[in-house]
Amino acid sequence: TTTMMNIIQPLQKDKPSGPRWAIAAKDVNLTGTWKPIVNSKFKSEYDEYLKCCGQNMIFRNLAVTVLGFVTEIIEHEGTSLAMSGTTPAGSWKRTLVSSGANLTTDSFETIHVDVVDPDGDLVQVESYWQDDGYTHTSILRGKPRTGGGIFETRRYLDLGKDDANAKLVCESIFYSSPSNNNKKFQNANVTWTFEKV
């Protein structure tokens, strides 16, 4: 008689489990040089957002004036998102490392990256992929001049009709600290849309 043995192979996952991933979906890559689409509506929304973040009128006027000169260069590889934002006033370089489930394990430790922001403040940024790997989310904490406020940013591609016309959408959200009684800080959000150049 012949005995047949069934050899059980571990299942190969084609995507991570759970709502928080360390990696993007297989067909997502944010790499590129991006410029924002700027119009009067966006300028007004951005000015209001900055006001809710506690910025004064002089700073806001300057920031809105240079919007058309902003460039965001992104290099996306694995769990790393290296970004360099440039304006006439200077540049802001940062590399975020996402943490979450991946193809080999569902367990993870949250990674907080120390970043020096454009104001020269040392802040901590946590990031991960959500929406089945289609939205990159980063959470910035520890900025002293916002009275304990938190910044959340969600980046994702809007493909439109095809990949060639893809836009990068960046939702910026500010959460004012409930323990801060300073009324100049208010919850706010603004949505950027970038074109690839």
**Residue by residue, what is the 3-state secondary structure of the chain?**
CCCCCCCCCCCCCCCCCCCCECCCCCCCCCCEEEEECCCHHHHHHHHHHHHHECCCHHHHHHHHHCHHHCEEEEEEECCEEEEEEEECCEEEEEEEEECCECCCCCCCCCCEEEEECCCCCEEEEEEEEECCCCEEEEEEECCHHHCCCEEEEEEEEECCCCHHHCEEEEEEEEECCCCCCCCCECCEEEEEEEEEC
Domain count, the chain: 1
- With a cut of 50, say whether residue 119 has pLDDT above it: yes
**Confidence (pLDDT) at 159:** 87
Mean of all residue pLDDT scores within the chain:
91
**Confidence (pLDDT) at 12:** 54
Domain containing residue 126: CATH number: 2.40.128.20
Flag whether 150 is in a domain.
yes
Flag whether 131 is in a domain.
yes
Domain that holds residue 89: 32-196
- 124-156 confidence digits (pLDDT tens): 999 999 999 999 999 999 998 898 899 999 999
Flag whether 3 is in a domain.
no
Flag whether 185 is in a domain.
yes
pTM reported for the whole predicted model: 0.89
- 73-107 confidence digits (pLDDT tens): 999 999 999 999 998 778 899 999 999 999 999 99
The percentage of residues in the chain with a pLDDT greater than 70, rounded to a whole number, is 92
